[in-house]
Amino acid sequence: MTKRIDEWSVGELARKAGVSVRTLHHYDEIGLLRPRRTGQAGYRVYGRPEALRLREIMFYRAMGMGLDQIAGLVDAPGKDRRARLAEQAVRLKAERSRIDDMLAAIVEAVETDRESIMTIDDLYKAFEPAKQAEYEAWLVENYGPDMADHIATSKAQLEKVPEEMAAKMAELRDIEEALVAIFLRGEGDVGPVIERHRAWVAAMWGRPCSHAAHAGLADMYLSHPDFVARFEMLAPRFSQWFPAAIKANAAAQGVG
Amino acid sequence: MTKRIDEWSVGELARKAGVSVRTLHHYDEIGLLRPRRTGQAGYRVYGRPEALRLREIMFYRAMGMGLDQIAGLVDAPGKDRRARLAEQAVRLKAERSRIDDMLAAIVEAVETDRESIMTIDDLYKAFEPAKQAEYEAWLVENYGPDMADHIATSKAQLEKVPEEMAAKMAELRDIEEALVAIFLRGEGDVGPVIERHRAWVAAMWGRPCSHAAHAGLADMYLSHPDFVARFEMLAPRFSQWFPAAIKANAAAQGVG
DNA sequence: ATGGGACCTCACGTAGCGTGAGGGTCAAGG
DNA sequence: CCTTGACCCTCACGCTACGTGAGGTCCCAT
C-alpha cells in the first residue's frame, strides 16, 4: 500500500487548510464535504477534488456565509452566485449597522454618566495655579528650559475674566467629549477635533501652539499622573489613545 | 385579593417592556431577574424593583452585552461599569472590523468574476450607434424634444479615435467598479465617484452635463431595460441604487 | 358550571464547531 | 513480538439567548 500523493488524512488536510480536524468531521457529518472512505479502518481520506472543494468552502466562509448557503453555492456552480453574494452583503451591512447602534448606545451611556463623574468644577481644579506651576516644572525637567520656551503653561492666562474661563472649560469638555465618542466608536475623523484642541490650547496660552508643542504636550499627558488619571476617568485606555492621536496628527502635518 | 397596583404578571410585564414571556422565563431560570413568587399557583409576580431591574437589563442588552456580563453589572452597581462599557466597545469594534473584512471579501469576489462577465467588449456593444439612436429616441419620447436639447447622446462622439474610445471605456469600467464597491460595502463617499461619472458623460457628449441632465440620464437608467440589465449584471439591485445615487447627488447640488 | 385566556413546567432546536471520553490503528523502535 | 506514541474513530454534551410547541393547571367572567 504505497501512500499516494494527492491523498491526505483528516489531520493532514486540516493542517494544510488551516482548519481543525473537528471542523472536517463536522463538514462530513452535515454532508458539506464528504471524504473518500477507502481505508477499511474507517479513516477519512481526502483527495484533490475534496481539497479544492474545501478551499471553495473556506472562500465563502470568509464572507460569513452559513454552511447551508455554502452547500448550495458549491453544489450549484455559478447559479445565482452574484445574487447570493449581494444578499450576504446586505445581511452583513445590517449586522454592522446593528453594531453601530450598540456602539452609539455605549457612547451615549458613557457620556451620560460622565456628566456626573467629571464636571466642569473638576476641570477647574485641573487648572489651578499650583497645578500649572507643577506642570511647567515637569516640562522644564523633562525637556529642558528651551522646550519651556515652546510649550507655555496656562498660568499667565488664569487671570481671565470668569465668564471667559467658564467658556473655555465648557469648550474643553465638549472637545474631550467628542474625542471620547470617536475613541469608543472606533471610527470618525479625529483630525479636526485634535486641531480644535490645539486651537484651544493656543487660546489658553495666549500664543500659537505649534504641532511640535502640541506633541510635547501629548508627552506630558502620557507621563504625568494627573493627566493620565483625568483622561483615564473619561474612558479606560483613553489616556493612551488621546496623546497618540495628537502625535499622529502632528506627524501627519509633517512634524516629527 | 385586590390586585395591587405596581404588580404585574409575566405577560403584563412582557408587554410593558416589549420582550417575550419566554425571555422573562429565561431570565428567571438563569437568575438574572427573579420575580416574587407570591401566588400559591406558582405564578410569577413582578413588582416595581423588578421592573426597574428589567429596564436596566434591557439597557445593557442594547449595547450587545452578554447576560452574564449584565448580571455582574446590575448586581455590583457602579463597580467598574466604565471599564465594562469600554471593553464591550472594544469587542464590538473587533466584531465590526471582522464584518468589514467579510464585506471586503465579497467586494473582491464580485469584482473578480465581474471581469469575466462584463468585459470591455460588452461595454463597447452598449455604445453602438444603433443603440445610441434608440436611447436618444427614448429620451425625446419621455422628456420631449426640449429635454433632448439638454441631454445629448454620444452618437456624435463615436467617431473618436479608437485609442481614445478604449480609454473612455476603461475609465467607465473603473467608475462602475468603484460604484459597485461602495454599493456592496454600504459605506464610503459616493459623491466624488458620481461626479467622476458626470464628467465622463460630459466628455462623451463633448459638452457639459448639468446636474439636471445627469438626473435625466438617471431616469433613463431606471427605465430602459438595456441599462437595467447591464447594471443588474454588475450586482443585484445596483440598477436601482446607481440612479438613486445620481439623483441624490444632483439634489445635494441644489437641482430638483 | 364552563369556556377561553393566561399561566405553569419540561424539553428540544438553533450554528458551528470545542472539548473531552473511551477506544481502535499504524509505524517504528526495543 | 511487543510496546509506545501519534493519529484516527464515534458518540455526546456544551455554548448564546431565547423560539416554539406539548401537555397540563388556574383564574375570571358569563
- For residue A49, what are the contacts with CB-CB under 8 A and spacing of at least 6? none
The answer as to whether B113 is a domain residue is no
**Do B54 and B160 lie in a common domain?**
no
Q: Is strand D in 7 Å reach of the CB of A12?
A: yes
For helices B238-252 and B191-205, angle between their N-to-C axes, nearest 10 degrees: 90
Give the Cα separation of A83 and A74 in Å (integer).
14
The answer as to whether B225 is a domain residue is yes
ipTM for the assembly: 0.80
Cβ–Cβ contact B89 with A under 8 A: yes
**Do A149 and A218 lie in a common domain?**
yes
pLDDT at position B140, please?
75
Buried b (16+ CB within 10 A) or exposed e, A218-250: bbbbbebeebbebbbebbbbbbebbbebbbebb
Query: By the 8 A CB rule, do A76 and A65 touch?
Result: no
Cβ–Cβ contact A79 with B under 8 A: no
B146 compared with A192, residue with greater pLDDT: A192
Q: Nearest residue to C25, CA vs C1'?
A: A41
Q: Is strand D in 7 Å reach of the CB of B23?
A: yes
The residue-averaged pLDDT of B138-157 equals 64
Q: Is strand D in 7 Å reach of the CB of B62?
A: no
pLDDT at position A198, please?
95
For an interface test with B, the pick among A99, A101, A189 (most B C-beta atoms closer than 10 Å) comes out as: A99
Give the Cα separation of B250 and B154 in Å (integer).
21
Residue A36 DSSP label: B
DSSP codes joined into one string, A157-198: GGGS-HHHHHHHHHHHHHHHHHHHHHHHHT-S--HHHHHHHH
Is B95 in Cβ contact with A106 (below 8 Å)?
no
Q: State which of A57, A79, A101 marks the end of a domain.
A: A79
Determine the distance in angstroms separating the CA of B256 from the nearest CA of chain A, rounded to an integer.
30
The protein footprint on chain C, as nucleotides within 7 A of a CB, is 6-9, 11, 15-19, 24-27
User: What is the spatial distance, in angstroms and rounded to an integer, between the CA atom of B49 and the C1' atom of D29?
Assistant: 31
Buried b (16+ CB within 10 A) or exposed e, A174-194: ebbbbbbbbbbbeeeebeebb
The answer as to whether A45 is a domain residue is yes
**Do A239 and A130 lie in a common domain?**
yes
Is A92 in Cβ contact with B96 (below 8 Å)?
no
Is B62 in Cβ contact with A105 (below 8 Å)?
yes
**Do A155 and A241 lie in a common domain?**
yes
Is B235 in Cβ contact with A86 (below 8 Å)?
yes
User: What is the spatial distance, in angstroms and rounded to an integer, between the CA atom of A6 and the C1' atom of D2?
Assistant: 33
**Do A49 and A135 lie in a common domain?**
no
**Domain tally for chain A?**
2
Is A106 in Cβ contact with B82 (below 8 Å)?
no
**Do A150 and A230 lie in a common domain?**
yes
pLDDT band at B229 (very low <50, low <70, confident <90, very high): confident
pLDDT by residue for chain A (256 residues), tens only, comes to: 435 678 999 999 999 999 999 999 999 999 999 999 777 788 999 999 999 999 999 999 999 999 999 999 999 877 788 889 999 999 999 999 999 999 999 999 988 887 777 777 777 877 777 787 788 787 777 776 666 666 566 555 556 677 888 888 889 999 999 999 999 999 889 999 999 999 998 888 888 888 988 998 899 899 888 899 899 888 889 999 999 999 999 999 877 5
Give the Cα separation of A203 and A157 in Å (integer).
9
Written as nine digits, the cell of A204 is: 489658553
- Nucleotide showing the shortest C1' distance to residue B15 CA: C6
Looking at beta carbons, which residues of chain B come within 8 Å of A110?
82, 85-86
User: What is the spatial distance, in angstroms and rounded to an integer, between the CA atom of B64 and the C1' atom of C11?
Assistant: 27
**Do B170 and B59 lie in a common domain?**
no
**Do B68 and B158 lie in a common domain?**
no
**What are the backbone angles phi and psi of residue A128, rounded to the nearest 5°?**
-65, 150
Least confident of A7-16, A227-236, B152-161, B162-171: B152-161
**Do B133 and B36 lie in a common domain?**
no
Residue B188 DSSP label: S
As a whole number of Å, the CA-based R_g of chain A is 29
Looking at beta carbons, which residues of chain B come within 8 Å of A82?
110, 113, 233, 235-236
The answer as to whether A110 is a domain residue is no
The answer as to whether A226 is a domain residue is yes
**Do B71 and B126 lie in a common domain?**
no
For an interface test with B, the pick among A106, A183, A184 (most B C-beta atoms closer than 10 Å) comes out as: A106
The answer as to whether A215 is a domain residue is yes
Question: B179-222, pLDDT tens digit by residue?
Answer: 999 999 988 899 999 999 999 988 887 778 889 889 988 988 99
Share of chain B above pLDDT 90, in %: 50
The answer as to whether A91 is a domain residue is no
Nearest to B102 among A62, A82, A101 (CB): A62
Q: State which of A79, A101, A136 marks the end of a domain.
A: A79
Strand, coil or helix: A46: strand
Owning domain of residue B192: 118-252
The answer as to whether B240 is a domain residue is yes
Q: State which of B79, B99, B127 marks the end of a domain.
A: B79
Is A59 in Cβ contact with B85 (below 8 Å)?
no
Question: B86-132, pLDDT tens digit by residue?
Answer: 999 999 999 999 999 999 999 999 888 777 776 777 778 777 777 77
pLDDT at position A157, please?
54
pLDDT band at B2 (very low <50, low <70, confident <90, very high): very low
Q: How many residues make up chain B in this entry?
A: 256
**Do B198 and B144 lie in a common domain?**
yes
- State the CATH number of the domain containing residue A34: 1.10.1660.10
